[in-house]
Structure 1
């Protein structure tokens, strides 16, 4: 597994460019589905019960998905 290295940032408004080596936040390595899950989890104030209701899934299923995401993030963090 290789990481994407960011070497240039550009402002679309003023066309200013900054070059260098930039670190991306760890959550950018999550899939879009995983990022959406994390966002909804935060918007529901961490309520897995509300998440389960919204997704139409059982509480244990949603809890397992959160645990999988936590494990993935810990693995990514330890590889930095």
Structure 2
């Protein structure tokens, strides 16, 4: 099941309010903001994971995705801007 990150009613970011241990059923309640990476779309999260798995090589990512280096670089630049905006929202 995909973790919801946006309110279906008003489109604002959701916060985590409860977590439960599947082993012992301990519950933790509060109002916790999601980390920046979890606020990204699933596609953007997969891009970050692929970047790490390719040892940070945009060239390798472009090769694996059968895209040109400039196209992959543009995707990276767009993602960097998204992360900057999300970080600025916290301030």
C-alpha RMSD over aligned residues: 0.9
Structure 1 segment 7-46 matched on structure 2, within 5 A: 7-46=17-56
Q: In the alignment, what sits opposite 2:83?
A: 73
For residues 73 and 41 of structure 1, the distance between their equivalents in structure 2, rounded to whole angstroms, comes to 15
**SS of residue matched to 2:61:** helix
Higher helix share: 1
Q: Can you give the 5+ residue segments of structure 1 that lack an aligned partner in the other structure? A: none
2:12 aligned to which of 2, 27, 44: 2
TM-score by length of 2: 0.84
Partner residue of 1:56 out of 52, 66, 75: 66
Report the CA distance between 1:22 and its aligned residue.
1.4
* TM-score of the aligned structures, taking structure 1 as reference length: 0.95
CA contact (8 A) 2:51 2:57 kept: yes
The secondary structure found in structure 2 opposite 1:79 is helix
Which residue of structure 1 aligns with residue 5 of structure 2? none
After TM superposition, which residue ranges in structure 1, 4 or more long, deviate above 3 angstroms?
A: none
